[in-house]
Chains A and B, each alone.
Chain A
Amino acid sequence: MILLRLFFEFFKAGLFAVGGGMATLPFMYDISTRTGWFTHEMLADMIAVSESTPGPIGVNMATYVGFETAGIPGAVTATIGLVTPSVIVILLIARALKAFRENKTVEAGFYGLRPCSVGLIAAAGFLVVKLALFNTDLYGQSGQLDDLFNVKALALAAVLLVCTRYVKKLKGLHPIFFILASAVIGIVFSF
């Protein structure tokens, strides 16, 4: 029963993804690799859609993946699965909010969880980089080193990196602006 499995997979993501938004991403890649319900390409597109539409990113990603896997019932099931552990955990600690915040063991656990979360997100980012900036398939076939680099994509990445980090007038802009600009550039230069 695919809906039951969807619920379970997203329940797991909701329970173990700590730090919000992007922290859900490594779990999506894990689900994709194990189940084949959706491809890595679809995940990368989904990040863009989640960033440029209203709503929390984690919820958007769950809805999108659920829809691709099993239509509207899938979208609802995956989203409910993702938020169920949150609701349970928060209801449990809401009574003892102060004790939880000041608990030394909880704080020590988070000292370890934070670098873990960043490491997992970086690894998921690496998969997107491999997909978007390099032609690993083409290189595998031809063995020619210049086939490995997707020159147009690398050039765009360099420009975007400079714009989002160093250009004062641009770096405060919402990601949706850069996503739209990249879409236009992709069409104009036929990526």
Chain B
Amino acid sequence: MKLYWELFLAFARVGVMTFGGGYAMIPILEREIVDKHGWATEEELMDYYAVGQCTPGVIAVNTATFIGYKLLGAPGGIVATLGVIFPSVVIITIIAGVLKTFAEVPAVKSAFAGIRVCVCVLIFNAVLKLWKKAVVDKPTLVMFLAVFLLSVFFKISPVWFVVLCAAAGIVLTRTGVRGK
């Protein structure tokens, strides 16, 4: 029982200290999981993180599930996940409640109009960074353009694109079109 509680607290700390997600999480995970508790080696952590990136869902949650599972089986996976999402749920709920109250104040409206401009730039930078790893040849360029244009001009659920592109990836690799 004590280990479950420790697991929950360790991942709640990771949740609190990760700002912005993704790579920001690695040093904090290393400190909590490898250095402090010795629950996994650095190599294992990197493996979990790599698989977490290429499985569905939030990377932090995937990594938490792996480590929890390794220690205490399926219940451990669930407890670690609950730990990592707990701070977000509390903090965001408070902020969303506060924002709702002040949403109509003119200064708040102006501030968010400015912030939206910044969000454009942040997304643009994120796209450029991901692009380098994703668009590596002509077939991937075509897939990127098709997905981008079709989702801008038509209301199609992203689910379809995900399913079709995964299938296309397999077909293109098997038929040897990949890399051209």
Contacts and interface: CB of A to CB of B under 8 A. Distances in A.
Contacts of A184: 111, 114
A119 B161 contact: yes
Nearest to A110: B54
B116 A45 contact: yes
B121 interface: yes
Interface string A118-132: 111111111011011
Contacts of A191: 110, 113-114, 117
Contacts of A128: 116, 119-120, 123
A5 interface: no
B135 A118 contact: yes
Given A126-B152, A178-B118, A186-B111, A55 B91 contact: yes
A72 B141 CA distance: 42
A79 B88 contact: yes
A78 B117 CA distance: 27
Given A25-B123, A85-B57, A109-B166, 9 more contacts: A16-B56, A51-B119, A82-B57, A87-B61, A105-B170, A115-B143, A185-B114, A189-B114, A191-B110
B3 interface: no
A170 to B, nearest CB: 12
16 contacts: A18-B162, A22-B130, A45-B115, A56-B18, A68-B96, A83-B58, A86-B57, A91-B77, A94-B70, A118-B127, A118-B144, A122-B123, A128-B116, A132-B119, A160-B118, A179-B118
A190 to B, nearest CB: 5
A156 interface: yes
B5 interface: no
Contacts of A83: 57-58, 61, 81, 85
Contacts of A20: 21-22, 52-53, 57-60
Given A108-B174, A116-B147, A178-B118, A93 B15 contact: no
A64 interface: yes
B170 A112 contact: yes
A120 B166 CA distance: 14
Chain B's interface size range is: 35 or more
A112 B143 contact: yes
Interface residues of A, dominant DSSP: helix
Interface of B: 15-22, 25, 47, 50-62, 65-66, 69-70, 74, 77-78, 81, 84-85, 87-89, 91-93, 95-97, 99-100, 107, 110-127, 130-131, 133-135, 140-141, 143-148, 151-152, 155, 157-159, 161-170, 172-174, 178
Interface in A15-63: 15-22, 24-27, 30, 33-34, 41, 44-45, 47-60, 63
Interface in A74-93: 75-76, 79, 82-83, 85-87, 89-91, 93
A125 B58 contact: no
Contact of B170 (A53, A90, A109): A109
